[in-house]
Amino acid sequence: MSVTHARGFEAGGLACGIKDSGAADLAVVTTADRAPAVAAGVFTRNLAVAAPVQVSRAHLRDGSATAVIVNSGNANAATGEAGVRDARRMCELTASGLGCAAGDVLVCSTGLIGIPLPFHALEAGIPKLTGALNGATAAAEAMLTTDTVRKEAVASVAGTTAVVGGMAKGAAMLAPSMATMLAVITTDAAVEPDALQQSLTRAVDVSFNQLCVDACTSTNDTVLVLANGAAAADEPLAGRDLDAFTDALTSVCLSLAEQMAADAEGATKLARIVVNGARTVDDARRAAHAVAASQLVQCSLNGADPYWGRVWSELGASGAGIDPQLVDIAYGGVVVCRDGVAALHDEDALAGVMAQRDVTITCELKLGDASATVLTTDLSPGYIDENRRTS
Amino acid sequence: MSVTHARGFEAGGLACGIKDSGAADLAVVTTADRAPAVAAGVFTRNLAVAAPVQVSRAHLRDGSATAVIVNSGNANAATGEAGVRDARRMCELTASGLGCAAGDVLVCSTGLIGIPLPFHALEAGIPKLTGALNGATAAAEAMLTTDTVRKEAVASVAGTTAVVGGMAKGAAMLAPSMATMLAVITTDAAVEPDALQQSLTRAVDVSFNQLCVDACTSTNDTVLVLANGAAAADEPLAGRDLDAFTDALTSVCLSLAEQMAADAEGATKLARIVVNGARTVDDARRAAHAVAASQLVQCSLNGADPYWGRVWSELGASGAGIDPQLVDIAYGGVVVCRDGVAALHDEDALAGVMAQRDVTITCELKLGDASATVLTTDLSPGYIDENRRTS
């Protein structure tokens, strides 16, 4: 269901020939009545930004959008002015197929960088797609690249009849400040543009931005949300209802983020790095990110080796305020380091923890009350294999 | 030769039983007359700092030292107060063996974190070692961990009779702000303490600090230099001679750094990331480090794949001032990206470049005159294999 879980949205996906494999590579999401919905977006902070991000930012300036067109298999990044023209033409083709304004179409691309879009494929594919909207499952499938499974999530807005649904893709380059990831989310809640942007920013901050697989920040990262208000004829959400909406949006983003981490390229472990007792949330996040991004910690996870010395070292090098002599480190609740030195522990219990696919590493800094959690994975030969050749 | 290339130094190394493998694991360098030399050091900036670093910093406060004792196979890190006592006892045993003051002995350890030193091995080993100084080659051998070859370098101070020689170890955790690396350097030049510290800081800044293999900063990084003045009876170096000394010291540090990168764990490629045309040196370094540290760029190097899109993306995400639309990227002189888009190029020439072990990636930012170079390697299954299990 995902992006059509909310009332008044349609979606579809198909293979238009961008991917040599013949897999699906073109998706669209639109309001059912083709009227603009309230829309908001969060984009990559990379200065090297792909053409579709530039175009979507411009089209979002009025806080509304009717549709999102997504292609996979080509990032339309490092493609210069021609790339920007291609991204605009994708919006125009989508608009004429759906019967809306080109300025109300947002565009996302994901795939290889530096290769011009094969536009003939899109010229044939977009009209075909907009003419036969075959549903959210096909859309969620068509946005994938090296992902092995679709990522979809839904949630209800407590105390209202509104719901939120979303789809995403993301497999490598999962990093702080976003990842090679696209997410399109829809809701039938009525939300004002500024409120929608604030809700989305908060949701992304505690979900996608707390993912860190390889610390690479992509050129194309985009999270979009469309709110058509179909669930209610009355006023936009405010107060407690608006908070409930933010909670539902956050829950969808968190679920999609966890699905991404679980499907990260080559990953055999999903690790949750928890830092407690930091002086500030910024310190907690910085420390957790440093541990999560560490190639050496990730190698240890691959070997199911609870080598906490690397965790301790990364905390110290993170730039966060820590006193190394106070730090406790636990794997799945088994404390292996107490007050900065090795702690006696139950070896069998620890081996049991490390044998699991999901491992939680908890670091107690004992300096304050702030906490943060970052998701990461192990570093595996499969990751290298996936990324060593583009062809 | 390395640390005994300069007149008036002795060295030795042996296996004392710290390493289960029975390989050499204890090294010492000392002035031949046991008189304190002028000494300087640069240490890890990690807050999680090993005991020997704490003790060496304290012993260096007076700017002089007679000897350096080094063990490999155990980092004496995350070992608390007991670890600090052990590091001090290493200095005391060395001092009584050599006949000098314990406060004039510096100490370095490298190996696994979080395990108490097997002190009985050192209690037997240090007197044996100081009683039979078997030379610089044995010392350089004994400081290695996962290194496959000794790292040694020498240089002459132009315009003087003085020379500089050094030895180092370092295989993984090679990163900005130092690496898991130890280096001990000696010179028979006469240099005043402040001048020696300044020369060393400058030399480290353009050598070891420009290495970036896995972006991990260790708990034990240490570079030490001892200057005994044996080459000259007269005044300490000043002016042009002091500059020549800094040049020689830098040349030794650079050579050791390149040897480290070439011997990095699992590496099949040695890559030189050159950034030109940055607005500031800081921008140039930041950009070069971001490209060098990128797991995805390193995976591409492993696959000999000139996928410049990742380089372009990392430049943009680096935090350095760049205009992505101006960037040129070349592999070994073959320009593959010009003004931020794909450039036509000679495919055969490019394939020839990528087939080499040494690859230079040059990024022209076209914003200013500042440049920086950072050394890195590919990310290989061998790196994971080396680091996934500590035992």
Q: Pairing mode, if any, of strands A358-364 and A328-331?
A: antiparallel
Residue B103, classed as helix, strand or coil, is helix
**Confidence band, pLDDT 50/70/90 cuts, at residue A340:** very high
Mutate to test the interface with A, among B387, B389, B391 (most CBs of A within 10 A): B387
From A116's Cα to the closest Cα of chain B, the distance in A is: 9
Choosing from A180, A217, A362, A377, the catalytic residue is A180
pLDDT tens across A322-333, in order?
999 999 999 999
pLDDT higher than threshold 50 for residue B169: yes
B361 and B280 in a common domain: yes
Distance, first Cα to last Cα, chain B: 33
> Known catalytic residues of B?
180
**What is the DSSP secondary-structure string of B145-176?**
SS-SS-EEEEEE-TTSS-EEEEEEEE-S---S
d(CA B275, CA A351): 46
A248 and A225 in a common domain: yes
From A111-115, B55-59, B92-96, the region with the lowest mean pLDDT: A111-115
Q: What is the mean pLDDT of residues B386-391?
A: 74
Look up A180 and say whether it is catalytic.
yes
In chain B, which ranges are continuous DSSP H helix?
51-59, 80-98, 119-130, 136-142, 193-205, 239-262, 281-293, 295-302, 308-317, 347-355, 381-387
The angle at the Cα of B137, spanning B132 to B139, to the nearest 5 degrees, equals 60
Whole-number pLDDT of residue B210: 82
Provide CB contacts within 8 A for A39, sequence distance 6+.
A60, A63, A64, A65, A106, A193, A196, A224, A225, A226, A227
Residue linked to tokens 């230079």: B360
Whole-number pLDDT of residue A176: 37
Q: Which residue of B has its CA nearest to A177?
A: B317
Percent of chain A predicted with pLDDT > 70: 95
From A313's Cα to the closest Cα of chain B, the distance in A is: 6
Q: For chain A, what is the HEC assignment?
A: CHHHCCCCEEEEEECCCCCCCCCCCEEEEEECCCCCEEEEEEECCCCCCCHHHHHHHHHCCCCEECEEEEEEEECCCCCHHHHHHHHHHHHHHHHHHHCCCHHHEEEEEEEECCCCCCHHHHHHHHHHHHCCCCCHHHHHHHCCCCCCCCEEEEEECCCCCCEEEEEEEECCCCCCCCCCEEEEEEECCCCCHHHHHHHHHHHHHCCHHHECCCCCCCCCCEEEEEECCCCCCCCCCCHHHHHHHHHHHHHHHHHHHHHHHHCCCCCCCEEEEEEEEECCHHHHHHHHHHHHHCHHHHHHHHCCCCCHHHHHHHHHHCCCCCCHHHCEEEECCEEEEECCEECCCCHHHHHHHHCCCEEEEEEECCCCCEEEEEEEECCCHHHHHHHCCCC
Whether B287 is in a domain gets the answer yes
**What is the DSSP secondary-structure string of B257-297?**
HHHHHHT-TT-S-EEEEEEEEESSHHHHHHHHHHHHH-HHH
pLDDT higher than threshold 50 for residue A365: yes
From B211-215, B237-241, B261-265, the region with the lowest mean pLDDT: B211-215
A364 and A292 in a common domain: yes
B57 and B199 in a common domain: yes
A275 and A258 in a common domain: no
Of the residues B262, B291, B325, the one at which a domain ends: B262
Whole-number pLDDT of residue A117: 96
Q: B215 to each of A3, B26, B114, B168, B198, how far by Cα in Å?
A: 39, 27, 21, 19, 25
The angle at the Cα of A206, spanning A199 to A160, to the nearest 5 degrees, equals 40
Of the residues B220, B240, B262, the one at which a domain ends: B262
Q: Which of A327, A337, A316, A333 is nearest to A366 (CA)?
A: A327
B383 and B257 in a common domain: no
Whole-number pLDDT of residue B175: 45
Of the residues B219, B235, B262, the one at which a domain ends: B262
Report whether B262 contacts B270 (CB < 8 A): yes
A125 and A173 in a common domain: yes
Closest Cβ opposite residue B78 in set A48, A214, A341:
A341
Q: Output the average pLDDT for chain A.
A: 91
The token pair at B219 is 């708990």
Q: Please give the radius of gyration of chain A, using alpha carbons only, rounded to the nearest integer.
A: 22
A199 and A51 in a common domain: yes
- Specify which residues A363 forms β-bridges with: A275, A329
Q: Which of A115, A20, A19 is nearest to A76 (CA)?
A: A115
Whether B221 is in a domain gets the answer yes
A216 and A129 in a common domain: yes
Cβ <8 Å between B310 and A379: no
Q: Which residue of A has its CA nearest to B47?
A: A316
d(CA A212, CA A374): 7
Closest Cβ opposite residue A218 in set B82, B313, B380:
B313
Q: What is the mean pLDDT of residues B293-301?
A: 88
How many other CB atoms are there within 10 angstroms of residue A233's CB atom?
Answer: 7
**Confidence band, pLDDT 50/70/90 cuts, at residue A171:** low
Q: Which residue of B has its CA nearest to A219?
A: B313
The CATH code of the domain that includes B134 is 3.60.70.12
CA dihedral A61, A64, A67, A70 (to 10 degrees): 30
Q: Which of A111, A97, A98 is nearest to A25 (CA)?
A: A111
pLDDT tens across A48-96, in order?
899 999 999 999 999 999 999 999 999 999 999 999 999 999 999 999 9
Which residues of chain A does B48 touch, with a Cβ-Cβ cutoff of 8 Å? 312-313, 315-317, 322, 324, 327, 340
pLDDT higher than threshold 80 for residue B316: yes
What is the number of structural domains in chain B? 2
Report which of residues B278 and B171 the model is more confident about: B278
Whether B120 is in a domain gets the answer yes
pLDDT higher than threshold 60 for residue B177: no
The CATH code of the domain that includes B277 is 3.10.20.340
Report whether B29 contacts B68 (CB < 8 A): yes
From B112's Cα to the closest Cα of chain A, the distance in A is: 8
pLDDT tens across A255-301, in order?
998 898 888 777 888 899 999 999 999 999 999 999 998 888 998 99
Cβ <8 Å between B46 and A302: no
d(CA A376, CA A229): 36
A179 and A103 in a common domain: yes
Whether B85 is in a domain gets the answer yes
A255 and A319 in a common domain: no
Whole-number pLDDT of residue A375: 87
- Does the ipTM surpass 0.90? no
Report whether B70 contacts B142 (CB < 8 A): yes
Whole-number pLDDT of residue A391: 61
Q: Which helix (H) or strand (E) holds B69?
A: strand B67-74
pLDDT tens across B373-382, in order?
988 888 888 7
pLDDT higher than threshold 70 for residue B72: yes
From A166's Cα to the closest Cα of chain B, the distance in A is: 27
Structural domain boundaries enclosing B290: 270-387
B294 and B249 in a common domain: no
pLDDT tens across A265-274, in order?
778 888 999 9
